[in-house]
Amino acid sequence: MKVDFNVLKWSPPRILVSGFALIILLGALLLSMPFASASGERLPFMDALFTATSATCVTGLVVVDTGTYFSVAGQVILMCLFQLGGLGFMTMATLIALVLRKKISLRERLLLQEAMNQSSMEGIVKLIRRVIIYSLSIELIGAALFASRFALDMPLGKAIYFGVFHAVSLFNNAGFDIFGDYRSLTLYVNDAVVNLAAMLLIITGGLGFVVMSDLMEYRKNKRLSLHSKVVLATTGTLIAVGTIVIFIFEFSNAKTLGSLDWGGKILASFFQSVTPRTAGANTLDYTQLRQATMFFTIILMFIGTSPGSTGGGIKTTTFATLVGAVIAMIRGREDIVLFRYRLGKDRIFKALTITLISLLLVIVVTMILSMTEKHAFIKLLFEATSAFGTVGLSVGVTPDLSIVGKIVISLTMFAGRLGPLTLAYALGPRTEKELYRHPEGKITIG
């Protein structure tokens, strides 16, 4: 048998894409086995592939109910998949190498740089160590908080298992739940412990590992990087604005906030503002939301979390750069300035490219779904954006998807998790540096 040594020369983006695809395929094979289902029957391979894609891409869209269809073994497989998908298989491979005290090669550092969305390799292994420690610590705290609350409603052993599963799911922004009947956290809409613990996991998982590292080191360094400042400011603003908008839109809706007391209304609005940042859990029935709230949630899902996090979307820094560009243009300034730092033109071009490609992807997917699925347009747009942003929130479309719909949504989740640019770099031809520049021309804009 001839070995293709060209694989060894693949670019980091191509290796990442291939690695995620391999994990998804392996996960699909395991989930389609009889032992993975509670009834002992085989899950159709297309449904297994969809579920494995959703878990590995930490989305949470499901075609079968996780809590009732899968056995404990199947649920553990899912938990492993979204832990791998959230932290990244290169992070897990580095953990094994560090445990075995193996040296991390230059090529492996390049892969880690690409996987963590970093601009340089400097301190990348140290960052990975912190990522692993922080992630496991936060998941452990979340699991303990959940287990202590769930123990009031179920046996202790089951409460611990539920606590671990949902802590790992929410920190990795996977959105899977095992309460059954697609209920997610709706049973705990008024519960402060469950809501606050869930939001803590979602927000910390969505900030990005670089920001988490910066925050942990703040006591010693007494400073934050520009990246961390932009991420924290944008995240806080989006959560605050989202809470207010959802509260106003749903205040009188008897099927959502209308039936809750004032404390419940505020808590539920806060949670529904946090979860579209690619988490996928919900405490309200999203099929009962008003169209205005659905559309606003679509915007939040499209923006997503922050670079180097467990979530998707165009990312908070991309959104902040675009807003900065608009403000600079309105004020007649050439430079985009954030926290007294000027952004380079390459950052601006990258933000525009990511946004336009992402918008085009969501539009195309929605158009395809509108031809293959029998649902309202706003619901199809919601589902397409949820898949791209690896959010996992659903308005009841996913369980009814046709074969074509399942394939399209699976590919969208895959593209959303890896990022449009990473996929473009992986699948496109190797670019060569131009040896000349064309003369400058002028066109009328606006």
Higher pLDDT, 272 or 312: 272
CB atoms within 10 A of CB 193: 14
Q: Is the pLDDT of residue 194 over 80?
A: yes
CB 301 within 8 A of CB 381: no
Measured over the CA atoms of residue 271, residue 275, residue 281 and residue 285, the dihedral's sign is positive
Residue 441 pLDDT > 80:
no
How confident is the model over 31-56, as pLDDT tens digits? 999 999 999 999 999 999 999 999 98
Q: Does the pTM exceed 0.85?
A: yes
Supply the DSSP symbol for 38. Answer: S
- Distances, alpha carbon 211 to alpha carbons 182, 195, 308, 372, 444, in Å: 33, 23, 9, 41, 40
Query: pLDDT for 139-189, tens place per residue?
Result: 999 999 999 999 999 999 999 999 999 999 999 888 899 998 888 898 999
Both tokens of 424, joined, read 């473009």
Give the separation between CA 114 and CA 89, rounded to whole angstroms. 12
- Check residue 289 and give its pLDDT: 93
Q: Is 285 within 8 Å of 254 (Cβ atoms)?
A: no
Q: pLDDT-based confidence at 108, cuts 50/70/90?
A: low
- Exposed/middle/buried for residue 280 (C-beta within 10 Å: 0-12, 13-18, 19+): buried
pLDDT digits (tens, 9 = 90+) for 286-304: 999 999 999 999 999 999 8
Give the residue from 338, 363, 358 showing the smallest Cα distance to 348: 338
Strand partners, 338: 341
Instruction: Reduce the secondary structure of 216-252 to three states and give it as a string.
Output: HHHHHHCCCCHHHHHHHHHHHHHHHHHHHHHHHHHCC
Q: What's the pLDDT at 337?
A: 85
pLDDT in tens, 383-397: 999 999 989 899 989
CA distance 206 to 209: 9
Give the pLDDT confidence score for residue 223 in this predicted structure: 84
More confident residue, 135 or 445: 135
Count, residues in the chain? 446
Whether the CB-CB separation of 321 and 218 falls below 8 Å is answered with no
Beta bridge partners of 337: 342
- Range name among 62-66, 125-129, 353-357 with the lowest pLDDT average: 125-129
Instruction: Please give the average per-residue pLDDT across 418-436, as a whole number.
Output: 62
Do 257 and 151 contact (CB within 8 A), yes or no?
A: no
- Between CA 340 and CA 332 the distance in angstroms is 17
Q: Which two tokens stand for residue 294?
A: 């659905």
User: Rounded to an integer, what distance in angstroms lies between the CA atom of residue 357 and that of residue 350?
Assistant: 11
Q: 23 near 56, Cβ under 8 Å?
A: yes
The pLDDT value recorded for residue 214 is: 82
What separation in angstroms does the CA of 362 have from each of 138, 157, 272? 33, 42, 22
pLDDT digits (tens, 9 = 90+) for 132-143: 888 889 999 999
Q: End-to-end CA distance of the chain, in Å?
A: 60
